[in-house]
A and B are shown apart, each in its own frame.
Chain A
Amino acid sequence: MELLRDNNWVLTIGTFLPIVGVLIMLFIPKADEVAHKAVALATAVATLAVGVWTLVLFDYGQAEKLQFVTDVEWISIIKSSYLIGLDGISLPMYFLSMVVTVLVMIYSWDHIPNPGNPKAFLILMLILQTGMAGTFIAQDLVLFFVFFEVVLLPMYFMIGVWGGEQRQYASLKFFLYTMFGSALMLVAFLALFFKTGAESFAIPYLVENGASIARNTQIWIFAGMFIGFAVKVPMFPFHTWLPDAHTQAPTQGSVILAAILLKLGTYGFIRIAIPVLPEAAKEWAPWIGLLAVIGIIYGALGCLAQTDMKRLIAFSSVAHMGFVMLGISTLTPFGFNAALFGMVAHGLITGMLFFVAGSVKERYHTLEIKRLSGMLKQVPRLGWIMGFCAMASLGLPGLAGFWGEFPAILSAYSPAEGLPEETFRTFMVIAAIGTVFAAGYLLWLYQRTAFGEPSAEFTGHGDGHGHGHGHGDGHDDIHDVTKFEWIAWTPLLISIVVFGVYPQLMFDVLDPAVKATLAVFGG
């Protein structure tokens, strides 16, 4: 594979700039919260600026090639090198991680969750950013693994320290689950390394040589990676950490988790597992497809049973990632494009939904669906935004969610050669049924929380008749969308519309890279 090495500084800088911010913040006393917020935000913005510059420098005519490649010897004893590069597949996710971090930083300006300590919180977030960006540009398995794991710790602490009531349980579960997956993944990586002659961990090298591994061995190696990535996605039945982690995580954590972290898994499938082990991928594809559609239906059913808004959104992630995995399981460029689009769309939409949920929690101090109602009346703008996101999430054409969902369904009609067509067509129908469920739980949620009259519990001051009753504590802060929220949300809302109206923006970038990736199938 031809590698373009021009301007290769942008990736390294873009990835490690947050660490510079962290170093600066280490020398600022803990009490100076504003300075911390300012430095963190400035770092994130500077990183985003580098990201924008990357977008500018990126050669869209050659999106299928790795660009900005840096290849420096790193750990020579295991033949691992610092090999990074960016192509059309990585670019959207890489950039999205930067955008989301900035937005989360803005949101954090006046939303530092309990028990405070912005210094630690923001430092963790910056480290997280490095990990996320690094994962998407790493072209060496060891490097990939390192970044993949770097992400884990900050998230663990974010949930464990700033989380809800059951944060200990949730964070531990999150950590152990992903560690378990990672362990198998590492074994698979090592197996891959030795089976390809212990020459190199570089992904381009492995793509060229992976196919020569004996079929049975491939299947076993794939199994290891499958579990590692599937836990992260998360696919049914490895998803149970997700609702807990999301529910307990602070808003910022949930947003990053939904928007970026889950995509590390699907990205791993697209970047590593499938291109490197094509034979095994073919063998596994129907099973992945099956788990994906089970996830779609099952996630939706899980949503319908929820009484907590955040948990419901978390379960909807399981369903949506099911669509992404369905697209991937077809092993066609069409399906991959759909999956990658779905990843970005889900990141934007579900990230936004978690923002909304966080703001609702902040105002009402509860996310219990039963207790909330009439949000449209009490906080009309927030209610509208939530409605908008619900519509986007259920796949309304014209908004981004649709372009992840519909093409995924479409792609299941004709999977790659050698895969069982009838099976996949059945999956298609099931997935289509899943869209109805999506409409069901989202609108049901919306109807119960946004419509109707605000419940008496929260209208202590709302009527303007007389002043607060005895139990009116906390109702004062039921206010509409604040300035910082607007700044943090508007970019997401606009992107949802822009990508919905003109999906070609992204498909243009994805398509060549995906085709190049799937060239291993000879198609």
Chain B
Amino acid sequence: MLSASTEAAEAVFTSGWFLDHVWIVPIIPAVAFALIIFFGKRLPMKGSELGIISMLATLAMSAAAAYQWIDRVEAVDKEVFVPPVIKAWTWWSSDGFSFGIGQHIDGLALIVLCVVAFISTLVQIYSVEYLHGDRRYTHFFASLTLFSAGMMNMVIAENMLQLILGWEIMGLCSFMLIGHWWEDGANSRAALKAFFTTRTGDIGLLVGTSVLFFAANEWTQKTLGISSFTIRGLSAWALSGEPSSTAITVGAVALFIACIGKSGQFPLHTWLPDAMAGPTPVSSLLHSSTMVVAGVFLVARLYPVFFEGMNILGTNVNFIVVIGGITIVIAAALAFVQNDIKKVLAYSTVSQLGYMMMGLGAGAWLPAVFHIFTHAFFKACLFLGAGSISHSASHHSFDMKKDMGGLRKYMPITFMTWIVSTLALCGVFPFSGFFSKDEIIDNVGHNGYNLFMIVGLVGAFLTAAYMTRATYLTFFGTSRGASAGEHHDDAHGSHDSHATHDAHAHDTHGHDDHASHGESQGPRESGKLITVPLIILAVLAIGSGFLNATPFGEKWEKLKVWVEPRAEVVDATSVALVAHGGPGEVRALPAAEESEDGHHSSPCGSETPKDGVCVAPQLNHAKFKWSKAAMSLIIVFAGILISWFLSMQLYERKNKALVGLTQRNKLLGAGYNLLANKYYLDALYENVIVKAIAYPISRGAYWINQKVLDGAVNGAGIVARVSAGWVYRNIDQRVVDGAVNSSGAAAQGAGSALRPVQSGKVNQYGALLFGAAAIGALVLVIINT
């Protein structure tokens, strides 16, 4: 509102109770978690009501906070830096370094917070029906609630440590939930793999945080008076022109490794498809819409660090983009060879996360964040749809080829919501995926990453194709297996189906309960608790895209206003004030006011800000062009049509030219094998690396321990004993004792030698005496002369 003035501009920002108290949000589910653990089993709904209530409360609070944030943002001009709402308390301090805990609330935090609260609520409601009668029903809700607490804590984190706290809690919950049916070894192994893989990435998190902390702390303490664990401190430092390129690059790369692990990017994506062993609501909440975007969120959160560390606008290839691009294509390709519907969706998730990463890596910050937002809805909807099918139609099987097909007749609601979400995922206008994905592709190209724009388009084609295949197999064609009403007791489709089956059978009394689960009735629509969340998500899968609908002009670009941080150079002292949670007043520097031609450009990110600091880099936005959009739409439709045609030929008509092609054509066969074996990455990790460490290396180390080190100790003992024995036998017995003994012998010998002398004859004694005296006298005489 004061942007045109040449003086230092001052802006006063509104806030509100909810905005100031967002930190309460994660505490609610944390408390609910404790209550569920301790009292859940005694409650009428076995604890699920506590979970749902807490989720509703967090949803209400975060929505209110978001509303107040929008007020705060819209009250000022579009270029004015809006300070985040910060609260910080000292968590611990050591050696003068103080580590805080609190909240860092801005558009990014709020949008993700709302998504998490919203999807968590729906998934918990859905789970009430889906996991009805499960043996560990209460634990399930406890874990889900704890997960939400962890994720929310990470999202609002004021500093890196708080972020790590949430990050690891999510990892723990992921472990517990994937392994929910741990009676089956496959599930617990998948849980272990997920935790272990992400934990491998977390080395980067620990190292990166440490590197950045020590590199930046001096600067942030001096300039802002805060520790460089803080998000804002690190951001400002990264853009200050201060950091040496090595430190920030090392820090950024290390942090990105953690993101690779958490967000299932190549080459650490292998845990995510396996994680589908968990119950479907878990896949929907953790492994598609929320937890796995944590890595993406971290990149977005500390964007200035990555921006500078990877030199994002200065090159046309960098680490993040490459990883994102590879992930898009390889994951999408893998989705083609899956028969398990959840694995198709899992690879699709991996691929979509690749889009987000690629977007962030190429400077398309807002589109990537927007994609987090839209993707959450349609992917959650798809997973819940898959769960609905297995729950009510396919008798807990997820195998598309064996147990599905033709379900559109039986499950109209599931079918409709599935189709909507699929179109959104494929990026068909006007579904939400179109707006976000197209924007990513567009901006990637706009920022000079042309190669990766093509990768994005290829990915879009593949996405459309594999989703069409999955849709066809599931809802069209003829019903097969369980969905055709076949008895299913001996069919073990996937681990998950088996486990689900198992869990139900154990908990309830025999097979009576299964009657109500559709075995005898054949496929049918699921209950209200399942369909209502599906419908809500489907509506959002259409509607959420319009929050930032670039095609319709600037006034539709709401998220750009609400979420994107403004790249304005602001006075260090006022930022410091905000940094300490002071009043929301920010003094902008005159330098930022050169917006004569309406083309705003801030020096942030491109040059060293003079006399002030930036906390967000200046990014470009590609102008939307229908021509480009049309091209990508054509590609998507081509994908759908080709795939539809092939699916028809393959699965329905059994076209001889196509069926078994991979067996006949060597090249295709090799490709198929490569995909079926997941590029042999799993084999590499599990059979080579893990086995090597777990078996030969650890055994070797243990062998060294037992034989070498302990052997040395035992050897020392043995040597000591042996040498002691030798000493005993030879020195003690022979020399020392020998001396004693032989002195006796000598005495004896001498005695017997002298025996004749002791004749007992007094005369002889006298003679000896005098002889001796004479000799003695003689000696004396000789000596004295």
Contact = CB atoms under 8 A, between A and B. Distances in A.
A451 B709 contact: no
A34 B735 CA distance: 57
Nearest to B201: A436
B196 A403 contact: no
Contacts of A413: 210-211, 213-214
B92 A436 contact: no
Given A338-B94, A409-B210, A301 B183 contact: no
A439 B210 contact: no
A160 B175 CA distance: 41
Contacts of B710: 240
A302 B705 contact: yes
Interface stretch (A6-14, A76-84, A147-155, A425-433): A425-433
B701 A305 contact: yes
Contacts of A433: 203
A443 B200 CA distance: 13
B685 interface: no
A467 to B, nearest CB: 22
A491 interface: no
Interface in B376-417: none
A396 interface: yes
B698 A305 contact: yes
A284 interface: no
B191 A447 contact: yes
Contact of B192 (A391, A447, A502): A447
A289 interface: no
A507 B91 CA distance: 10
B182 interface: yes
Contacts of B202: 435-436
Interface string B71-97: 000000000000000000011111111
B199 A436 contact: yes
B207 interface: yes
A397 B165 contact: yes
B697 A428 contact: no
A502 B101 CA distance: 11
B94 A301 contact: no
Interface residues of B, dominant DSSP = helix
A406 interface: yes
B172 A396 contact: yes
Contacts of A462: none
B705 A503 contact: no
A144 interface: no
A334 interface: yes
A173 B702 CA distance: 18
A515 B94 CA distance: 10
A304 interface: yes
Interface string A408-442: 01101110000000000000110011011101100
B693 A301 contact: yes
A298 B694 CA distance: 12
Contacts of A332: 95
A304 B693 CA distance: 8
A267 to B, nearest CB: 18
Nearest to A444: B192
A208 interface: no
A502 B93 CA distance: 11
A237 interface: yes
Interface string B179-216: 10011110111011001100110110011011101100
A398 B167 CA distance: 11
A467 B687 CA distance: 43
Contact of B206 (A176, A398, A406, A515): A406
Contacts of B164: 397, 406
Contacts of B189: 447
Contacts of B713: 173, 177, 240-241
B165 A305 contact: no
B127 to A, nearest CB: 21
B168 A398 contact: yes
A371 B97 CA distance: 48
Interface in B24-77: none
A333 interface: yes
A302 B702 contact: yes
Nearest to A333: B95
B132 interface: no
A503 B99 CA distance: 11
Contacts of A164: none
A337 B94 contact: yes
B699 interface: yes
A240 B169 CA distance: 35
B201 to A, nearest CB: 9
Contact of B699 (A173, A305, A507, A508): A305
Contacts of A443: 175, 192, 195-196
5 contacts: A177-B713, A303-B698, A337-B94, A447-B191, A502-B92
Interface of A: 173, 176-177, 237, 239-241, 298, 301-306, 332-334, 337-338, 374, 376-377, 391, 396-398, 402-403, 406-407, 409-410, 412-414, 428-429, 432-433, 435-437, 439-440, 443-444, 447, 450-453, 502-504, 507-508, 510-511, 514-515
User: What 5 A-B pairs have minimum CB-CB distances, sorted nearest first?
Assistant: A305-B702, A304-B698, A301-B701, A451-B182, A451-B188
